Chains A and B, each alone.
Chain A
Amino acid sequence: RKEVEQDPGPFNVPEGATVAFNCTYSNSASQSFFWYRQDCRKEPKLLMSVYSSGNEDGRFTAQLNRASQYISLLIRDSKLSDSATYLCVVNPMDSSYKLIFGSGTRLLVRP
């Protein structure tokens, strides 16, 4: 089983739609969680951190369910510019300082 699993998609949605991505992680001791965005042929960029209480940044809402080891990202009112790959990232906060990346969910927003 992969340490971080995501549905690869692609999710193909019209502009204005609401879309949700899910991610599960296997290490119950993981402490920090993030969503990164990666555009085609570019580096991953931090989109938002995921706090246990859930957090919102404009059209984006992230939630964490520690009991189910599950992270979600909700995008409301999708824009064409939201088309990208969204990476779920977990930091187990062990001594190795490593991040564990999911393989990403691809989103295509059509006019």
Chain B
Amino acid sequence: NAGVTQTPKFQVLKTGQSMTLQCAQDMNHNSMYWYRQDPGMGLRLIYYSASEGTTDKGEVPNGYNVSRLNKREFSLRLESAAPSQTSVYFCATPPRGPSTDTQYFGPGTRLTVL
């Protein structure tokens, strides 16, 4: 049971390049979330998916797109990376069990945009 896995762990992009961050979970929950974390800002929600086939914008969605591929996978795409998107990105889902009011995080992707 891997929990929440994210790939890649690290990435360096040049301005204007595109990339997709992958997230997969085996917690068997419907909801999944993408956050970014910047120094002094805390975690901010980019997009979330309440269930397979649905996605919604969070607090900071500009510059990102998401795809809920199936119940397990939720990807985040940067179509044209900008230096302001340099951040640590975390994927999350509720932990195993019936509770859905908290979240379990993946190990993160550290992205630098030059």
Contact = CB atoms under 8 A, between A and B. Distances in A.
Interface string B25-55: 0000001010000001111110010100000
A89 B45 CA distance: 13
Interface string A85-111: 001010101001111011110000000
A31 B99 CA distance: 14
Contact of A97 (B31, B95, B104): B31
A43 interface: yes
Interface residues of B, number: 24
A89 B42 CA distance: 10
Contacts of B44: 101
B64 to A, nearest CB: 16
Majority secondary structure, A binding face: loop
Contacts of B102: 32, 34, 46, 49, 89, 91, 99
Given A97-B48, A98-B58, A87 B42 contact: yes
Nearest to B38: A103
Interface size class of A (residues with CB under 8 A): 20 to 34
Contacts of A66: none
B100 A45 contact: no
Contacts of B101: 31-32, 91, 93
Contact of B42 (A31, A34, A42, A103): A103
A100 B111 CA distance: 23
Contacts, number: 52
A40 to B, nearest CB: 11
Nearest to A6: B42
A99 B103 contact: yes
A36 B101 CA distance: 13
B8 to A, nearest CB: 15
Interface string B57-70: 01000000000000
A46 B4 CA distance: 14
B31 A103 contact: no
Interface of A: 4, 8, 31-32, 34, 41-46, 49, 87, 89, 91, 93, 96-99, 101-104
